[in-house]
Amino acid sequence: MDATPSWSGGWRRMLSEVWPFVAQRHGAGQRVVLARLVRRTGPGSRPLGATMAVAADGGWTGSVSGGCVEGALLDEARSVLDGAAPRLTSVRPGADLMPWEPAPACAGELGVLICPAPVGPVFAAVSAALATRRPLAVAVELEPPFRWSTAADRSGLPGGSEHFVEELRSGPVLLVVGATDLAAMLAALAAPLGQRVVVVDPRPAYARPERVPTADDVVCVWPDEWLAAAKLTTRDAVLVVTHDPRIDDRAIRAALAGSAGYVGVLGSRDTHTRRLARLAGLPGLDRLTGPAGLDLGATSLAQTALSMLAEVVAVGNRRTGGRLRDLRGRIRAVETPAPQPVG
């Protein structure tokens, strides 16, 4: 039996989706049971690791199938809260339908682990890793007593039984140049996407954490200085939104000299034409996206932020951002490698 569990989930952290609920109920002294998708045959609407959390007060959050089997899993989770043994159960979307009723498209069999959420040192380790974005491998046994364990990486996890492992990793960096109102909206929308949002602005009156409260960091520094020290990778993105050429141009020059996978800038087409004239001859200028964003016809800060982030996501997934109804082929980006438990 392979003693090394494996799930290379990249920055997609399923536990993080439900952890605020788990932590809140834990702080209130309530027991919580998790239902986690650990196996699947056939297509499905959610990735392996998708999680529901069900609390003793009846509250719950999350999903493992997007709605097809959650009702049945709620009953099973509540039975464990009432004293039944934890279990690895199999469910099939549409199993409760009558023969003449249409079955859902995601009709594969789902293997769902239903067991108490971790407590003690494992709970503390997961909470700390999510708060500090420190890498952590979180494993749970797929056989009784379904023990939890953590390690800095997979090599430090215990062997000897089959596990399901989620690797908590820091998400890609979204660097926003300019602590503006648009930056605050970008940060608020980017947080649920798993991105680590850093806002830089050399103007002390702007670079204040309360102006961008959902950003991971707000730094009063020139953007080229921050970029020189940060060394972004192709997973990361830069959005330049100050609308001040003295700041924007320095940011663009530094970003294009690095390895960020996306560099976009705010501004009208006329503004961008003048910008390109100023930066003519700059190496990598063809990588600059301006005006940044998808064609949503945005008329507000929120819509503009949505447009810009939608393009960041599309480029990161190697998509063009067109309407799904007009496309052919796979809807979701390919997960590489596909997460699988081993044992």
Q: Which domain holds residue 32?
A: 14-168
In a domain, 2, yes or no: no
The first and second tokens of residue 91, run together, are: 């469910």
Report the predicted TM-score, pTM, of the whole model to 2 decimal places. Answer: 0.75
Sign of CA dihedral 310, 237, 127, 164: positive
Listed range (198-207, 218-227, 330-339) with the worst mean pLDDT: 330-339
What is the average pLDDT score of the chain?
A: 87
Please say whether the beta carbons of 190 and 309 come within 8 A. Answer: yes
pLDDT at residue 272 in the model:
94
The first and second tokens of residue 208, run together, are: 């204040």
Local confidence band at 342 (pLDDT 50, 70, 90 cut-offs): very low
pLDDT at residue 265 in the model:
97
In a domain, 5, yes or no: no
Query: In the structure, how many helices (H) and strands (E) does the chain have?
Result: 8, 14
- CATH number for 249: 3.40.50.720
Domain boundary among 143, 168, 193: 168
Mean pLDDT for 220-249 is 95
In a domain, 333, yes or no: no
**Domain shared by 163 and 205, yes or no:** no
Local confidence band at 194 (pLDDT 50, 70, 90 cut-offs): confident
Mean pLDDT for 56-77 is 90
**Domain shared by 207 and 127, yes or no:** no
**Domain shared by 44 and 148, yes or no:** yes
pLDDT at residue 2 in the model:
31
pLDDT at 309 over 50: yes
**Domain shared by 90 and 212, yes or no:** no
CA distance 154 to 312: 30
In a domain, 116, yes or no: yes
In a domain, 245, yes or no: yes
Domain boundary among 147, 168, 189: 168
In a domain, 266, yes or no: yes
Per-position DSSP letters for 127-196, written without gaps between them: HHHHHHT--EEEEEESSTT--EEEESSGGGS--SS-EEEEEE-PPPEEEEES-SHHHHHHHHHHGGGT-E
Higher pLDDT, 42 or 16: 16
**Each residue's pLDDT tens digit, 148-191:** 999 988 888 888 789 999 988 878 999 999 999 999 999 999 98
DSSP 342: B
CA distance 150 to 173: 25
**Number of domain units in the chain:** 2
In a domain, 342, yes or no: no
Please say whether the beta carbons of 35 and 114 come within 8 A. Answer: yes
**Domain shared by 103 and 202, yes or no:** no
pLDDT at 60 over 70: yes
pLDDT at residue 98 in the model:
43
**Domain shared by 164 and 293, yes or no:** no
How would you label 177-201 residue by residue, b for 16+ Cβ within 10 Å and e otherwise? bbbbebbbbbbbbbbeebbbbbbbb
Q: How distant, in Å, are the alpha carbons of 167, 240, 250, 262, 282 from that of 288?
A: 33, 11, 13, 8, 11
Higher pLDDT, 119 or 325: 119
**Domain shared by 155 and 227, yes or no:** no
**Domain shared by 147 and 192, yes or no:** no
**Domain shared by 39 and 161, yes or no:** yes
pLDDT at residue 107 in the model:
58
**Domain shared by 120 and 23, yes or no:** yes
CA distance 265 to 272: 8
In a domain, 254, yes or no: yes
pLDDT at 101 over 80: no
**Domain shared by 162 and 263, yes or no:** no
Domain boundary among 115, 133, 168: 168
**Domain shared by 264 and 279, yes or no:** yes
CA distance 283 to 257: 8
